[in-house]
Amino acid sequence: MDSDFLQLRAALAPPRGMATWLAGELRAAIADGRLPPGTALPATRALAADLGLSRGVVVEAYQRLRDEALISGRPGAGTRVAPLPGAGVTPAGRASATAVPSGVPPPGMPPPGVPASGWPPADGRPDFGQLPLRWRSRSGIDMSPGVPDLSAFPRAAWLRAERAVLARASAADLGYGDPRGSDRLRTELAGWLARTRGLRAAPDDIIVVNGVAQALALLARVLVSRGTDRVAVEDPGSSGATGELAYWGLTPVPVAVDEHGLRVDRLAASAAGVALVTPAHQFPTGVVLAPHRRGELLAWAAAGGLVIEDDYDAEYRYDRAPVPALHASAPDRIAYAGSTSKALAPGMRLGWLIPPPELRPDLIAAKHASDLGSPALPQMVLAQMIANGELERHIRLVRGRQRHRRDALLAALREHLPQARVQGVAAGLHLLVTFPGLTCPADDTDLASEIHRAGVLVHPLSWHRHDPGPPGLVLGYAAHTPDQLRDAARRIAAIVRRDAGRAPHARSPR
């Protein structure tokens, strides 16, 4: 088994000496700065459960590090990395010479407009800014992808953290601050991303943004101002992310995705110098970028390309090992973006961007010109939740709930629609369903409309395609109970089977 914490993989440990292996991994992380002084370690019981080990193994590993004065703890306070001798708790990472813009911001960017490429295409596709909300008002079960379980938002933990923050916040903390974001949040994010995603970033490398959407908008504005006019995007891929980049002046160039992820050979032939990818959990297929493709993509970036890494759904994995972020392999060629939209709620509008150093000053200036900086209080509260371990506890709790819901929907689809192919099962908050064993109508938008009339809102796969391809449905499951998901699967299956029976030259399921 595996853990998000430090990307630990118990399968790589020797069959004997598990405590020695675990202590060595933790010792190395302390030495290289991934676990800076003051970092809270997982509870022994929780880490043992993640790794499939006995709790005694973890207890022994922790005790060895205590004996070496590398960690310390007391009842009720948990276990933390010990301060360096003669020093207080210090932030992780290296120093940065990046200057913060001051005074009047630079001249503004040109007013936004839809580029001549014509995106979004006038081919009957919906307006993604409006249609989902309009449909949702008439949907019994909304299975739109990308919608987390908003009822699970940790209200009590957030309130506790907010009270703690307000009790000690100074007046200056609530004023105009660093456009890069709260220093404390950037410090906590640097440690958290190192522990959970394998990143090596200093606080000064991070720009706090209002979600991944703003990260993409800032990148597009800076790139267009530097003469870039094309961006390669995954096909199928996120129509929302593609539309965001296009709105700010970049022409999307579709590059096919297969069972191994992005076709990097086609990326090289696209003539695009920038590529938007979701390597850890591709949307909407759910595939992980295969190791050989990761190598090819990194080689493409090293030859002068820029990768925008959208770390989509990285928090939620169920049946596979954690996939480290690409950024650590080429920080000078990768702009990494993530957010709390799936971990907490999209309405929080909290995210982060870690760009290549060469782009950072322009991006900070663009952020400053856009909004003078993200809201201060939510940043301080999120920093508090990371520091006290509440965010990781919340993600762990929600991950178990989402696994249960995924299992219910998957079992119901296999029962009522066994001819369908279901992808993206191992992680995330949605499934992709295609129909290789049925003759379904080629237009999956009509199929989705019929399913909607039956009381279930789903996304047709064609909404997220550029080039034509087989029909499919994208089903989000995070926001519904297992019983609701089983009911939705029955309704979807009934419509699919009925339409397959009507289709010309219908054949028996394989």
449-457 mean pLDDT: 90
d(CA 23, CA 32): 14
Q: Please, which residues bridge with residue 252 across strands?
A: 231
- Tokens describing residue 347: 């309405």
- The set of residues, in sequence order, having a beta carbon less than 8 Å from that of 64 and lying 6+ positions away, is 19, 23
pLDDT tens figures, 334-345: 999 999 999 999
One of 3.20.20.10, 1.10.10.10, 3.40.50.300, 3.40.190.10 is the CATH number of 5-81, namely 1.10.10.10
pLDDT tens figures, 278-323: 998 899 999 999 999 999 999 999 999 999 999 987 778 887 777 8
More confident residue, 186 or 92: 186
Q: Determine the pLDDT at residue 60.
A: 87
437-450 mean pLDDT: 76
Domain topology for 131-147+393-502: Aspartate Aminotransferase, domain 1 (3.90.1150)
Answer for the pair 46, 396: CB distance below 8 angstroms, yes or no: yes
Q: Determine the pLDDT at residue 441.
A: 57
Average per-residue pLDDT for the chain: 84
Domains 131-147+393-502 and 154-388 share a fold: no
> Where are the domains positioned within the chain?
5-81, 131-147+393-502, 154-388
d(CA 348, CA 432): 27
| CATH hierarchy code of domain 154-388 | 3.40.640.10
pLDDT tens figures, 174-207: 999 899 999 999 999 999 999 889 899 999 999 9
Is pLDDT of 447 > 70?
A: yes
More confident residue, 350 or 105: 350
Is pLDDT of 108 > 60?
A: no
Q: Determine the pLDDT at residue 75.
A: 64
Is pLDDT of 1 > 70?
A: no
pTM for the predicted model, two decimal places? 0.77
Place 4 in a pLDDT band, splitting at 50, 70 and 90.
confident
DSSP 191-252: HHHHHHH-----GGG-EEESHHHHHHHHHHHHHHHTT--EEEEEES--HHHHHHHHHTTPEE
Q: Please, which residues bridge with residue 209 across strands?
A: 351
Q: Determine the pLDDT at residue 114.
A: 29
Q: Half-sphere exposure of residue 420, counting CA atoms within 13 Å on the CB side?
A: 27
Distance of CA 298 to the CA centre of its chain: 20
Least confident of 134-148, 225-239, 396-410: 134-148
Say which amino acid occupies 260.
H
Is pLDDT of 86 > 60?
A: no
Question: Can you tell me whether residue 281 is helix, strand or coil?
Answer: coil
Place 440 in a pLDDT band, splitting at 50, 70 and 90.
low
- Tokens describing residue 133: 């909300």
Compute the CA torsion angle 269, 270, 272, 276 (nearest 10 deg). -110
